[in-house]
Amino acid sequence: MVNCFAEQFISVKNQQDIIDTIRILNKNKKKHFILGGGSNILFTKDISGVIIHNKIEGIKIIKEDKLTATINIGSGVIWNDFVKWTIERKLWGVENLILIPGTVGAAPIQNIGAYGVEIKDVFKNLKAFNLKTGEKKIFSKKECLFGYRDSIFKNKLKNKFFICEIEVTLQKKDNPILTYENLKFEFKNKKKALTIKNISDVISEIRKRKLPNPNKLGNCGSFFKNPVINKEEFLVLKEKFPEIKYFKKNEKIKLSAGWLIEQCGWKGKKINSCGVYEKQALVLVNFGGASGLEIKSLAQKIKKDILNKFNIKLEEEVQII
């Protein structure tokens, strides 16, 4: 956690609140910034203008048949509460995304993903308000332009639309996704039944072992994206660094950013009040009292070392404001 102040802070609880807030923004010609749970943002300065804080609740099944259920979720619902809701009802599709912090509305922004699943796999559409015109628009899956930790809302439409609800379609029939090697390994070794509850429990255990709890040790999860390179570039690197950790991603190769950072000696390193988490080099942590600028400076040092050693330009997953 870092300290930061905003000129004005408005919590929106329903769609009328958003419409009223848009009027305030337009009338006073104020800048705005949308805040969910704040788990993917590093603030390095105070915010001039209005912070719009999302508190829109509600989860309901809007359509179902023998095989599927389509759910409408208010964007301020805590993502993990929604995942637990689906597990209780044995609706398959997001159980691998358990324990990802933040709100439902932010989930499509970076197409959240973990353990072989991304939100785009279950996504149907979302409704959002244009913060300039006040118009409400439905975005289909295609229009969201989802990519690896990416969507249109991180690029062309960044900070332009307020997402107020999303719809996902989940499966009623068992549909375990065990593409991730360490997940497969856990089930094979412990001979556990492949139930939705067991899968989410195993993933929760792995996540708790690997990642620090942001309520106890300030962090934003993975600070950098895993770099994706082409096969030719990869072969050059593999010859120089035979141990390099990677995953095949269609025609491309995804490198483990954590491994690259570890090789540069950063794992467990501390600079004043911030540093690199001792159990996972992809996570930068605030031991207490570090400013956003100090954390940004640490990230820049890491990026420089990776560029010098591997000729790879790391990209932040976290949004630096």
Tell me which of 18, 41, 152, 284 binds ligand FAD, using CB under 6 A: 41
- Counting contacts by CB under 6 A, is residue 105 touching ligand FAD? yes
Count the residues of the shown chain that bind ligand FAD, applying the rule CB under 6 A: 32
Instruction: Map the footprint of ligand FAD across residues 106-145, applying CB under 6 A.
Output: 106-107, 109-110, 112-114
Among 2, 18, 22, 40, binds ligand FAD (CB under 6 A): 40
Looking at beta carbons only, is 91 or 109 nearer to ligand FAD?
109
Rounded Cα–Cα distance for residues 257 and 317 (Å) = 11
Chain centroid, CA 293 distance in Å? 22
- x/- track of binding to ligand FAD for residues 50-89 (CB under 6 A): ----x--------------------x--------------
In whole angstroms, give the CA distance from residue 147 to residue 228. 12
Q: Which stretch binds ligand FAD (CB under 6 A): 15-23, 83-91, 218-226, 254-262?
A: 218-226
Backbone angles phi, psi at 120, to 5 degrees: -60, -25
Q: Among 75, 151, 222, 291, which one carries the catalytic annotation? A: 222
* Residue 218 near ligand FAD by CB under 6 A: no
Sign of the Cα torsion 190, 195, 201, 207 reads positive
Q: What is the CA radius of gyration of the chain?
A: 20
Query: 237 or 317, CB closer to ligand FAD?
Result: 317
In the region spanning residues 149 to 208, those forming contacts with ligand FAD, defined by CB under 6 A, are: 149, 159, 162-163
Query: Can you tell me which of 18, 32, 38, 306 binds ligand FAD, judged by CB under 6 A?
Result: 38
Q: Which stretch binds ligand FAD (CB under 6 A): 20-28, 59-67, 211-219, 286-294?
A: 211-219
Q: 230-239, long-range: CB within 8 Å, 24+ apart, which pairs?
A: 237/310, 237/312
Stretch that binds ligand FAD, among 66-74, 94-102, 170-178, 229-237 (CB under 6 A): 94-102
Q: What are 46's two structure tokens?
A: 């105070």
User: At closest approach, how far in Å is the CB of 117 from ligand FAD?
Assistant: 10
Task: Answer for the pair 88, 81: CB distance below 8 angstroms, yes or no.
Answer: no
User: CA 201, CA 186: separation in Å to the nearest integer?
Assistant: 11
Q: What stretches of the chain adopt beta strand conformation (E)?
A: 6-12, 32-35, 41-42, 47-54, 59-64, 68-74, 113-114, 117-118, 123-130, 136-140, 161-171, 218-222, 228-229, 246-249, 252-255, 270-271, 274-276, 283-286, 319-320
Is residue 149 annotated as part of the catalytic site, yes or no?
Answer: yes
CA 268 to mean position of chain CA atoms: 23
Please confirm, yes or no, whether 23 is among the known catalytic residues. no
Phi-psi region of 212 (alpha: psi -120 to 50; beta: other; left: phi over 0): beta
Pick the catalytic residue: 95, 118, 149, 165? 149
Is the Cβ of residue 149 or residue 237 nearer to ligand FAD in the bound state?
149
| 75 included as an active-site residue | no
Where on the chain is the footprint of ligand FAD (CB under 6 A)? 34-41, 54, 75, 100-103, 105-107, 109-110, 112-114, 149, 159, 162-163, 211, 214, 219-221, 319
Give me the active site residues, please: 149, 222, 317
